[in-house]
Chains A and B, each alone.
Chain A
């Protein structure tokens, strides 16, 4: 079994809703609600779902751009070690739990702070969706890319120029672009600069938050090819968050599908497209417009809209829109069950459908 770079356990991110005269806590927007996810080293894991499902929040929580409400993010730990600590956390004795907290400070990204966290930040980076917003418009390209290097103290002022030049070449731009400003570049090139900045600290993990959604179709292809190449060259691990299913099919090894803050299905990419098991995944896949006029797919049209994440339906969150829903679906929330060959699904009736 391949090593896990990141192991998310019971991760939650709630946004409190304040209401009433005294602005007391009346509820939560449950953006990420009890997520367990393993990201293997060297893979490209896709995270798909529609707007409001929490995929972007999940990604940013891993990066500690949002602080998790509860849960653990284990970084570079063996599965045995993770299981041990989880066991300690759930045990009855307070001494065990104290021991667990002590251990967590070194291995859990949600528990780290200050200098420890800063050190780890060099290893996990992010590429944002909108290239016009992700680069400071008043900074030179050179400074934009050099900043992570300087913050992480990975290069001296003299070495910086050389390193930036190197990075620009890696992403397909030239060294003379260093002394220019972001507004002089096209969308695709700005995204390349953003990728160069993410690579600066030689990270092990990069969160790709819809990196091609704001780009034109032909540029998208260039960037996707570049990302694939970089993953191979630098042994990177990607979490590729997107809502575009054909893109995710092209670039990912495994896919996790999110709905309303929970993961509903995880499988290898080919498996997911060939035989998806969760009704939501089936509907999602059938809704993709295929760029081929000769194929006519039977579309599963979901009724209604995505429910409110502050008040999710009882039981299985998808049951109001699911054509296979039965009584148990309305009462008991399904957990992720193993369906063989690394394919897990959270549905009571997956065997029958």
Chain B
């Protein structure tokens, strides 16, 4: 299976009053097309920071210091990857919500309390899929215009049609221009030439706007701008279809409701609907069920598994619950204090954990068939402003060696598709 996204040697820091928190210490992860990839770790290990770095939404005072984040989105060329850390913000805006979507832990704070469900789910469709909606509206209007007899209505519909066509052509032109700039940027980067040209391209891309002066003017006039209502109707239709697929009962009524009227489980469904509205290639789920009751959690996990079959191709699932990982994920990485400790297929990881931290973690989780005491990992998660030297796990590791205190272990593929960062295994395997 080919890779979809990949991070290489990612370093992210937070510059706080107390000092610089070195949140990510060279993180290498990748997600393959069509898989559910789990990212497991305790609080402070950096899993949320990693995915926020991927989407470039790290909150200040955080900054990505070093590394690459590669997206393999090209259909024609499987090897073609774009390093989004070099891309302008406008490029990221087109990626977020459309190619990569994210859902968060607190569903209630992800939803805006003053907008209806329909408006919120439709928002990303409006932003990312406007040309499609415009085309659908134009087709519908064309059919209506020819049938309608009343001259007043006909004039109005013709006017709407004209406006929409103008808007569509402006959008299409914009998309074309931006795509060309992106192509040029890609060529410039791969040839590693002219930094100046690159900077110029970036600024051009940032300042390109859709040129539709008449449309913009009409949109400001109170009565005339009602011509856009047909767009709302089309989008609402799509939203209703989407909600039906997600198993929401009575979606036509749901579209008019507001978030405070819904229960926690239903809110999380709506959040998933918003994330899936534009058929993203990758869904990132940052602990979406941690706050939910166990029966509601089961519902949501079932939903995600169903959607995997039909709508989403790949999922990056962050959690601290190893039970959820065992249920939902195909492959999983274990993170500790800003490093990736181990990555393997789920069965492999549970059956044969290699990294001492993974072993400790698996032993400290209560199981259904529990023998004897829970084993614990002594000590506490380290302070990332002054992290331990060498391997960040060494103060708590039962197998610590002298080398561990000095040198950070390399992230090596020990067996097929099983990576570990630990000096115990450094002798075997080649470097990735």
A-side interface residues toward B, CB under 8 Å?
50-51, 186, 188-189, 216-222, 224-225, 228, 243, 245-247, 249-250, 273, 283-284, 286-294, 299, 301-302, 305-306
Contacts and interface: CB of A to CB of B under 8 A. Distances in A.
B294 A293 contact: no
A246 B293 CA distance: 14
Nearest to A280: B295
Contact of B370 (A225, A250, A288, A305): A250
Contacts of B298: 286-287, 289, 299, 301
Contacts, number: 117
Of the candidates A51, A221, A273, A293, the one having the most CB atoms from chain B within 10 angstroms of its own CB is A293
B296 interface: yes
A288 B327 CA distance: 10
A183 B321 CA distance: 26
Contact of B295 (A225, A228, A273, A283): A283
B84 interface: no
Given A50-B294, A291-B323, A273 B368 contact: yes
A192 to B, nearest CB: 11
Interface string B373-415: 1111110110000000000000000000000000000000000
B302 interface: yes
A50 B263 CA distance: 13
B215 interface: no
A289 B377 CA distance: 22
B320 A217 contact: yes
Nearest to B330: A293
Contacts of B366: 221, 224, 246-247, 249-250
21 contacts: A51-B293, A186-B381, A216-B43, A216-B381, A217-B322, A217-B361, A217-B365, A218-B377, A222-B376, A225-B376, A283-B295, A289-B297, A289-B326, A290-B327, A290-B368, A291-B323, A291-B326, A291-B367, A294-B347, A294-B351, A306-B293
A302 B295 CA distance: 7
B34 interface: no
A302 B265 CA distance: 12
Nearest to A48: B294
Contacts of A250: 366, 370, 374
A292 B375 CA distance: 17
Nearest to B375: A221
B42 A216 contact: yes
A257 B357 CA distance: 34
Contact of B327 (A50, A216, A218, A289): A289
Nearest to B368: A290
Contact of A301 (B302, B324, B327): B302
